[in-house]
């Protein structure tokens, strides 16, 4: 065992303690100065996806994400188009009435391009006005942000002669490397390496103190940011492809000719209920499949139910079990069976309807 050094004289410990105090004394004003320098505008804005893809004479959709990193709420956040004139907002965007501290809100933007706009990359400007109050004193703050626009050639009008504007799906933009996360990971690796490899226990107290600060800071800031509820929300949604309820990925909902023939032989009136949720990726496929079937025969009636809006009904059918939601789910009126997921949906739906040969 290593001998502890005998208490030495004042002279040998003094420079160390002095240095420590100096560092601490300097750290405080330096931190404050850094915070002051880093202080940006109150709300931060970003447009997703950027650039916004749109067709000549058509429109493209994007979301303006508004993050409020401050400790006070921001009110009446409204958006308008500044220019250039070849573009405009297709409809008046809804304003955010109240954005609470540490919350992120979003505003849907539909940007329309006139037929005489130039193709290729363009830049537009939007103006954002909001109110920010500190106690009794309120400020109206105006900000401008740039939006990248990617104008594509006009697309021939839709086959069904519908006059609605063409929406161009924005191309999957290459994801940039997540540098903060890489830094986070490297830091964790270094700390972890130190923690698992060190043979000495001398630094334990300092490490424990540091980690306690991480615990307090992480939990406090995490709870302020509502991350504990986010954690629960993530836990409450069942990963369908993880437990084998469906295979990931969805194709176009299209009926096979055999299915259409089978549906024509349906000889009773059936009502189908499709339970869906806003956040569910495979629900549109299930909805489209039921719509196609209803088009093939007039015996089928259907309705869509949002499980978040009608949790009681969903729970009665076993679509919400033990606080966990499984969608898409399709039920047939008067029967208890529930179809979950979208895998092999056409065949299973025909079986539920009793027309598969």
Partner 1 sequence: MRWTSARRGAQGLGLLFGLFGITGIGMTHVLFPGLHCYACPLAITVCPIGLMQNLIVFGTPPYFWLGTIVAYGLLAGRGFCGWFCPFGTLNDLLSFRKVRILKSFSYTKFAVLVGTAFAAWYFADTVFCKLCPAASIEASIPYLLLGVAKVNRPFLIHMGTLVGTLVGMVLISRFWCRYLCPMGGLLALFNRVSFLHLRLDPERCAGCLACAPSCPMGLDPHNDHDDHNCIKCGECVEACKMGALSLHYGIRRRR
Q: Which of 129, 245, 294, 296 binds partner 1 (CB under 8 A)?
A: 245
Nearest to 38 by CA among 73, 77, 69: 69
Q: In the set 71, 234, 267, 268, which binds partner 1 (CB under 8 A)?
A: 234
Strands 96-99 and 74-83: antiparallel
* Least CB distance to partner 1 at residue 101 (A): 15
Closest distance between partner 1 and the C-beta of residue 239, in Å?
6
Is 215 a residue that touches partner 1 (CB under 8 A)?
Answer: yes
By CB under 8 A, is residue 208 in contact with partner 1? yes
258 is a site residue for partner 1 (CB under 8 A) = no
Structure tokens given for 283? 């629900």
Peptide bond between residue 51 and the one before it cis (omega within 30 degrees of 0): yes
In this chain, which of 198, 256, 261, 265 binds partner 1, going by CB under 8 A? 198
**C-beta of 198 vs 265, nearer to partner 1:** 198
Among residues 239, 252, 257, 357, the one that binds partner 1 under rule CB under 8 A: 239
Determine contact, residues 143/41, Cβ cutoff 8 Å. Answer: yes
173 binds partner 1 (CB under 8 A): no
186 binds partner 1 (CB under 8 A): no
The region of 44-52, 67-75, 124-132, 193-201 touching partner 1 under the rule CB under 8 A is 193-201
Query: Nearest distance from residue 128's CB to partner 1, in Å?
Result: 23
Find the distance separating the first CA and the last CA of the chain, reported in whole Å. 83
Site string for partner 1, 3-42 (x = CB under 8 A): -x--------------------------------------
Residue from 59, 276, 285, 340 touching partner 1 (CB under 8 A): that is 340
DSSP-derived pairing of the beta strands 137-152 and 120-134: antiparallel
Is residue 118 within 8 A of residue 57, CB to CB? The reply is: no
Task: In angstroms, give the least distance from the CB of 184 to partner 1.
Answer: 8
135 vs 180, which CB is nearer to partner 1? 180
User: Residue 261 belongs to what H/E stretch?
Assistant: helix 257-264
Measured CA angle at 61 (ends 58, 65), to 5 deg: 155
d(CA 328, CA 149): 35
Beta bridge partners of 120: 151
Q: Which is nearer to partner 1, 227 or 333 (CB)?
A: 227
Cβ atoms within 10 A of the Cβ of 321, count? Answer: 11
Distance CA 290, CA 296 (A): 10
Q: Using CA atoms in the order 130, 135, 137, 143, what is the torsion angle rounded to 10 degrees? A: -20
**Binding-site ranges for partner 1 (CB under 8 A):** 1-2, 4, 175, 178, 180-181, 184-185, 188-189, 191-192, 195-196, 198-202, 204-205, 207-208, 211-212, 214-223, 225, 227-232, 234-236, 238-239, 241-245, 247-248, 321-324, 326, 340-341, 343
């Amino acid at each position: 065992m290593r001998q502890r050094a005998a208490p030495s004289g004042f002279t040998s410990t003094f420079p160390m303690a002095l240095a420590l105090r100096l560092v601490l004394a300097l750290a405080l004003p330096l931190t404050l100065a850094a915070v002051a320098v880093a202080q940006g505008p109150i709300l931060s804005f970003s447009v997703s996806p950027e650039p916004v893809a749109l067709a000549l004479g058509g429109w493209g959709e994007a979301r303006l994400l508004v993050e409020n990193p401050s400790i006070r709420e921001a009110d009446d956040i409204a958006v308008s188009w500044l220019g250039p004139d070849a573009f405009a907002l297709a409809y008046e965007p809804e304003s955010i009435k109240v954005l609470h501290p540490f919350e992120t809100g979003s505003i849907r933007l539909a940007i329309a391009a006139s037929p005489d706009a130039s193709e290729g990359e363009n830049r537009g400007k939007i103006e954002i006005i909001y109110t920010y109050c500190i106690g009794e004193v309120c400020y109206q703050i105006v900000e401008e942000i740039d939006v990248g626009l990617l104008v594509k050639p006009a697309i021939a009008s839709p086959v069904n002669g519908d006059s609605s504007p063409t929406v161009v799906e924005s191309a999957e933009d290459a994801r940039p490397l997540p540098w903060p996360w890489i830094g986070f990971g490297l830091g964790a690796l270094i700390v972890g390496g130190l923690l698992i490899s060190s043979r000495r226990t001398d630094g334990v107290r300092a490490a424990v103190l540091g980690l306690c600060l991480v615990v307090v800071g992480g939990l406090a800031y995490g709870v302020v940011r509502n991350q504990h509820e986010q954690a629960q929300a993530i836990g409450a949604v069942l990963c369908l492809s993880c437990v084998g309820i469906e295979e990931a990925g969805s194709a176009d909902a299209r009926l096979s000719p055999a299915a259409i023939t089978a549906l024509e032989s349906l000889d009773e009136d059936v009502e189908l209920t499709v339970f869906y949720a806003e956040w569910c990726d495979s629900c549109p496929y299930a909805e489209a499949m039921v719509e196609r079937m209803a088009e093939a025969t007039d015996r089928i009636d259907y309705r869509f139910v949002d499980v978040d809006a009608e949790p009681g009904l969903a729970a009665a059918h076993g679509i919400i079990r033990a606080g966990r939601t499984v969608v898409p789910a399709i039920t047939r009126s008067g029967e208890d069976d529930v179809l979950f997921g979208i895998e092999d949906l056409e065949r299973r739906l025909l079986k539920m309807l009793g027309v598969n040969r």
